[in-house]
Amino acid sequence: MSNTTITVAYGDGIGPEIMKAALNILQEAGAKLDIETIEIGQEVYERGITSGIAPESWESLRRTGVFLKAPITTPQGGGYKSLNVTIRKSLGLYANVRPCVAYAPFVRTRHPNMDVVIVRENEEDLYAGIEHRQTDEVMQCLKLITRPGCEKIVRYAFEYARANGRKKVTCFTKDNIMKLTDGLFHKVFDEIALDYPELQNEHWIVDIGAAKLADTPEVFDVIVMPNLYGDILSDVAAQIAGSIGMAGSANIGEHGAMFEAIHGSAPAIAGQNIANPTGLLLSAVMMLVHIGQEDIAAKIHNAWLSVLEKGIHTADTATVQNSGETVGTKEFADAVIARLGRMPQILKPVSYDTTSKTPFTLKPAIRRVAARKELIGVDVFLHWRDGSPDELGLLMEAANNERLQLSMITNRGIKVWPNGMPETFCTDHWRCRYLSGSDQMAILHSDIIALLQRITDLKLDFIKCENLCNFDGETGYALGQGQ
Ligand code: NAD
């Protein structure tokens, strides 16, 4: 088998020492790799490159399509963009796979039977990064959920479950509140689940699902979720499995993959040879499986399990009960190297065969026939602080004409006109809904422009508008709270 070329970045803080330790183990295990090294993180940010990655480094990433990345330190303050989010989105790494496994009794956990894989959507949701200050008092972040995005991540989760002998895929959303965005994720989950009849599937509302995950994680197997819930709950899952310092992750896309520990650069312990290299090492194991070196991956994983069983720990996971010996980063790596070829005696040995690799190319999301879209109204958002909801209602009704009439005003989503409650707290951010009438007559964009002109003539500060449409006769917007 020929060598696979990969890109490696040593990162910041503890990055260089854990990367050295991990690469040492890979080399001694016989991984067939050619390594291209790139620089990312603090030093690059300090050169004035606000993305944290130099343009020439992209060439290596695109060429190799496989990136083993150490954590970096993100500079404090505005103006810097998260490098992780940039790399994930630029390279289309839509699936973030985070196995969270307990290693009891060798690593302390309240959940000795936990073996959960979180599959987190990686590109959209609130991480689209579209934020605006709209008024004195209100900031906005747009939550974008797309059908192709949902189809890719949900299908990936089912394919992963099938390829890895998993039994169940669970979906977490908050679709009782976000009926359109999270509702789409749930709907796509139900649709795609039909293609995998051999796998159980279930949906939980994310709040009670998170409580259940923290309490009895052993009832879950693979869990797929939108970006933000997945970000938060994969950290929770990694921590309750044993330690966040031990969890690895794979970011998978159609054109490449990035492998990294889920922890950060831990600057306080950098350069002291005390960091745990496990998170990065298990990420590298996922990488080896991904590039078809399953035998080397299993050899390393089993040697690492043997080290745990021997009671050899770095300081972060050592306890009086489980630790025979607390060692440094380098010595921990040496202990793994010394056990290459050995199998664990108590913990379940790992085997990776060619069918257990992370799926890479999936059935592409099919773009559907465009729906029949009818424009029937508009929500106009205002910055206004000069009176009560009823006074605003009177003002905004003055902008009515025969094509569009004011039907409702909300403040932070709650209906305050007509017939609002005096107790409702109002900010300076109002949404005024104009509809074309009870028969939902179709209107034109020019009707909206004319409405905005009348609102401008009334000397009101509109911030933005959102068109209200029906798609194939189905309402494409949410009702106001209390409407
Ligand atoms: P962190 O994960 O670096 O550290 C949290 C705690 O865990 C600290 O007490 C640290 O000492 C400990 N810890 C983390 N990894 C460890 C390991 N391998 N061995 C032993 N102990 C370990 O999180 P933080 O302190 O919030 O962030 C530090 C920096 O890392 C920040 O600049 C942050 O932006 C960055 N960060 C980077 C990534 C990444 O590059 N993927 C991810 C998260 C945070």
Instruction: Tell me the average pLDDT of the chain.
Output: 93
What is the pTM (predicted TM-score) of this model? Answer: 0.93
- Same structural domain, 154 and 101: yes
- Same structural domain, 331 and 402: no
pLDDT band at 357 (very low <50, low <70, confident <90, very high): low
pLDDT over 60 at 20, yes or no: yes
Q: What pLDDT was estimated at residue 359?
A: 58
Report the distance separating Cα 36 and Cα 38, nearest Å: 7
Report the distance separating Cα 85 and Cα 87, nearest Å: 6
pLDDT over 80 at 29, yes or no: yes
Place of tokens 């025969």: 402
**For residue 201, what is the domain's CATH number?**
3.40.718.10
- CB of 251 shorter than 6 A to ligand 1: no
- Same structural domain, 428 and 289: no
* pLDDT > 90 fraction of the chain, expressed in percent and rounded: 81
For residues 178 and 158, the answer to whether their CB atoms sit within 8 Å is no
- Determine phi and psi for 278, rounding to 5 degrees: -60, -45
- CB of 359 shorter than 6 A to ligand 1: no
pLDDT over 80 at 363, yes or no: no
pLDDT over 60 at 356, yes or no: no
- Same structural domain, 267 and 381: no
Q: What pLDDT was estimated at residue 32?
A: 98
Ligand 1 atom closest to the CA of 18, numbered from 1 = 18
pLDDT band at 364 (very low <50, low <70, confident <90, very high): confident
From ligand 1's centre to the CA of 127, what distance in Å?
20
Which one, of 102, 104, 106, 103, lies nearest residue 323 by Cα?
106
pLDDT over 60 at 1, yes or no: yes
> What does the pLDDT look like over 95-127, one tens digit per residue?
999 999 999 999 989 999 999 999 999 999 998
- Same structural domain, 260 and 311: yes
pLDDT band at 219 (very low <50, low <70, confident <90, very high): very high
Ligand 1 atom closest to the CA of 267, numbered from 1 = 28
pLDDT over 80 at 81, yes or no: no
Provide the β-strand partners of residue 100.
116
> What does the pLDDT look like over 398-456, one tens digit per residue?
999 999 999 999 999 999 999 999 999 999 999 999 999 877 789 999 999 999 999 99
pLDDT over 90 at 343, yes or no: yes
- Same structural domain, 314 and 402: no
* In a domain? residue 366: no
> What does the pLDDT look like over 176-216, one tens digit per residue?
999 999 999 999 999 999 999 999 999 999 999 999 999 99
- CB of 152 shorter than 6 A to ligand 1: no
* In a domain? residue 480: no
- CB of 366 shorter than 6 A to ligand 1: no
Ligand 1 pocket test: which of 20, 40, 265, 276 has the largest number of ligand atoms within 8 Å of its C-beta? 265
- Same structural domain, 326 and 384: no
From ligand 1's centre to the CA of 446, what distance in Å?
53
- CB of 407 shorter than 6 A to ligand 1: no
From ligand 1's centre to the CA of 60, what distance in Å?
26
Ligand 1 atom closest to the CA of 261, numbered from 1 = 41
- Same structural domain, 332 and 286: yes
Give the residue with greater pLDDT, 432 vs 323: 432
- CB of 264 shorter than 6 A to ligand 1: yes
Q: What pLDDT was estimated at residue 97?
A: 96
- Same structural domain, 44 and 137: yes
pLDDT band at 355 (very low <50, low <70, confident <90, very high): low
Q: What pLDDT was estimated at residue 122?
A: 94
- CB of 303 shorter than 6 A to ligand 1: no
Residues spanned by the domain of 233 = 4-338
Place of tokens 């998260």: 82
* In a domain? residue 350: no
Closest residue by Cα to atom 24, ligand 1, is: 264
pLDDT band at 271 (very low <50, low <70, confident <90, very high): very high
Ligand 1 atom closest to the CA of 278, numbered from 1 = 18
pLDDT band at 358 (very low <50, low <70, confident <90, very high): low
Q: What pLDDT was estimated at residue 458?
A: 96
**For residue 429, what is the domain's CATH number?**
3.30.70.1570
* In a domain? residue 356: no
> What does the pLDDT look like over 325-334, one tens digit per residue?
899 999 999 9
- CB of 52 shorter than 6 A to ligand 1: no
Q: What pLDDT was estimated at residue 237?
A: 96
- CB of 247 shorter than 6 A to ligand 1: no
Number of domains in the chain: 2
- CB of 84 shorter than 6 A to ligand 1: yes
- CB of 17 shorter than 6 A to ligand 1: no
Strands 222-225 and 200-205: unpaired
Characterize 358-392 residue by residue with b for buried, 16 or more Cβ atoms within 10 angstroms of its Cβ, and e for exposed.
bbbebeeeeeeeeeeebbbbbbbbbbbeeeebeeb
DSSP-derived secondary structure for 64-110: H-EEEE---PPPSSTTPPPHHHHHHHHTT--EEEEEEE--TTTS--S
Ligand 1 atom closest to the CA of 41, numbered from 1 = 40
Q: What pLDDT was estimated at residue 481?
A: 74
From ligand 1's centre to the CA of 266, what distance in Å?
4
